[in-house]
Structures are given as C-alpha cells and as structure tokens.
Structure 1
Amino acid sequence: MSASERRGAARTSIVWESLQGILGSDSDVLDIGGGTGGFAVRVAELGHRVRVIDPSPDALAALSRRAQEGDVADRVTGQQGDISTLLEAVGPESVDVVLCHGVLEVVDDPASALATLAQVLRPGGTLSVLANQRHAAVVARAIAGHFGQAREILDGAAVGRSGHRFTSDEITGLLDGAGLRVTSIHGIRVFADLVPGSLLDLEPGATQALLDLERAVATRSEYLPLATQVHVLATR
C-alpha cells in the first residue's frame, strides 16, 4: 500500500466504522453526490441496496465499473441528478440511511437541502453528514501564507470551488432545523492532513499508530476545531 493509500485509510476509517454501526442487516441506502462509489460499493458489499444520485455522468460511469468489479452491480443503482430533483427520483420515507458526504459545501441552501433529505428518510432512519470544518481550514490557509483566504473563511465566506465550510455547532443547528436528532459527532482528519506522507513510509507501524490516534481524539470536543471534517449522524 502506497503512502497516499495509507493516508487515505487514516482519513476515511472513522467515518466507515461509524457507518457500519448504523447499517442494519438489509438496508435501503441513498448516497447523494456519491460520485464514483467510494462508499456506495463498500456498503453494497455488506449486502445493502444503494442508490447513488450524482450530477456527473462520468462519475456514474465510473461507479458502474466499480460496482461490476466488486460484483455488486445488482445492488448499486446510479442516477443522474442532485438534491433539487431528489424528490422526483426518490419517494418520501423510502430509505433507511442517507449518505450526504461533501455535498453541503456546494449547495446554495444547506438548510433546504437537509430538509429535503429528511423527507426521504423512513421514521427512525439515519442521515450521515460529512462536511468541511471551518476552523481547520482557517489554520491551514494561514500556515500556507494565504492570509486573505484565511480571513474570508473565518468570516464564513465561500472561497472558490471549495464552497461553504461549517462549525460543528452550525451543522447540528441545521440538522435540528430539519427535524433530525443528532446522535454522534466525530472529528475527522485531526492529524492525518498534517503528517508528512514520507513519515508513513519511513516509520514502521506509523499508519496504524496514526489511525489509533485519530480514533482516540475523534470524539473529544477539545480536538474538534482542529478536524478538517466533521462527521455527524442524525436520526429522523
């Protein structure tokens, strides 16, 4: 496994472990903006049915290939669209789990988007939100010498193609407004983005040690502002 693959594992493992804890034995899952199926195919491999809604035909083509390679093409469906057309494609109260990863950053109205996602959840269903976190972005831009960008992010402005960023309180407030109950909050990539990739090659066991460290701080509130992303689970 390359350094980039090991770093990727450290970045996604905690999210994946959280998802495994809320998936039932036979769930209907919607992955909005699921792209090429990084999560969708893994969920399907556990025996669940997954529908991916994404605006990119190229991403959906890659999703189809990945599902075939993983021998789960019968459990993964891709459809072009986005949140604005979601209710036309997916009926209300029709899915058990919704994955909304990297989507709130790019929609015009995050509150409206979450309200729409809440409608497609069955009672007792779970929404998984993964979103870029503002505090860490401010620090990262400042360290890189981009002080103007750091100030814009600090003030809540969208920067270029990266879109919105949120604090954990803002995300939980939006979820409350959508009628959803927050059940867990995890800080994601507290250290993974700061560790040089070369270190993971040079130090034996460094990747596992990094992952263990990420797990140790993921639920500690004092480290949450340092996390590149926030992962929140909420139920209807």
Structure 2
Amino acid sequence: MLRRIEDDERFLTTILFFDEAYFHISGTVNRHNVRIWGSESPHEYREMTRGCTKVNVWCALMHVRVIGPLFFAEMTVTSDTYLDMLQNFVFPQVEALQPEINFQPHWSTIVRDALEKHFPGRWTGRGGPISWPPRSPDITPLDCFLCGYVKDVVYKTQVRDIDQLETRIRDAIATVVAGMLARTWQEIEYRFDILRATNGANLQLYQQQTQNFLSFSIQQCNQFIFIFVIFRIIKDQNVSDLL
C-alpha cells in the first residue's frame, strides 16, 4: 500500500473506504472506537449499558463524496446479508467510478469473490490482492473522522427513540461537505507519511511521544532563556558597579 502511494500521488483519492458501526440510543458507538494506548495499564474503565436499543449503520467515503448511510434491518449482519447489500446498493453506485476498494468487515469467501468479480485485483483487505492491516482506525477515515463527527452531531441532545436516531444519523452525514473530506484525506496522507518514516509505528503512541518531546523541549528552552536573562542582568549589574 505504501509503495503504491509513493508511485502514484493520486492513489489515495481513488480509494473507497467502507465499514459499519452500531449507534446506541444511549450515546454509545461500537466498541472498536475506544482505544487507550500506553506503556503500562492506565486502569481506565468505561461504563456500558446492556440491552440498549441500537442501529447498525453502513457508510462509505471517497475523497469527494459520501455513499450512504444504509441501515441494516438485522442486528447481526451475516455474509449473505452483506453480499446482498453490496450487490443491490453499493456496486450500482460505484462501478461507474471504478475506484479501488478498501474492504474491512466480513472476511467470507462469497463476499471476497464478489469483490474480485466487480473489482478484479483492485480491492484492499485481509486476504485481498492489496494488503491492508485489519482494524486500522488510525488510517481509516470512517474511524478517524466520520464516526466521531456523526456521534458529536447526533448526541448533542438526548435521543428519544430509534426513528429519531436514524433521522439524526442521516442528517449528520448529509452535512459532510467536500472541504471536510479534502481535509480528511490530507490527514490520512500525513498519517501514511508518518508510517513510512517510522516503519509502521503506532500513530497514537508516536504523536503522544512527539508531543511529550516538544513539551520537554519548550520547557528546556524556557529554562535556558530564563538563565540567560538572569546572567545578562547579573553581568549588566557588575558592569554598572565597576563604573
């Protein structure tokens, strides 16, 4: 993937990313969006509401457009259900665009065969012709941008029922404009640059370490400036005493 990006600077703009997520009436979005990275256990916990009403939402992003959302009637999406969604909803909309495909969920034979049939040699994911690390939210725009953005909009006020939840999700996604997507793709490209430079380092840890280093450097710089100012004051005072 990194090699293809290096060879073609427009490669990232040809990728269609898609995935699904659960949105709960309580305000929880699926568990894959909560990660705490550290060198030791932070002893953090998160409260969960069992049995809360939720919807399963699918959506896709390109650098210039959003496809979806699509709500699954079933809470548990099988490979057959997913294949039916691809054939009846996704393929008719994207075949004319001829994008690369970034494919995350449902690693089943029938789904992979369908992707290979419609996008031969041009889909990305586990077991695909173009490798992609599974569950990589830091370089997937649906995780690092769309899901968080929609959550912030949807849960500004308490959700009343499932119909209102679906309406808010649709309305939130409808507010995603071209400029937001362009900035997201710039951020994804920047993150790939970090991966190249650090040989695949964890982005969150890298950014935290960089922030800590910069904070330390600024602190050291401020201390140096303070010492220098004191030195100049003492020096000037000594000169004044001699005069």
Pair in the same fold by TM > 0.5: no
Computing the radius of gyration from Cα coordinates, the structure with the larger value is: 2
Q: What TM-score, normalized by structure 2, do the two folds share? A: 0.29
Question: Greater helix share, 1 or 2?
Answer: 2
Question: Greater strand share, 1 or 2?
Answer: 1
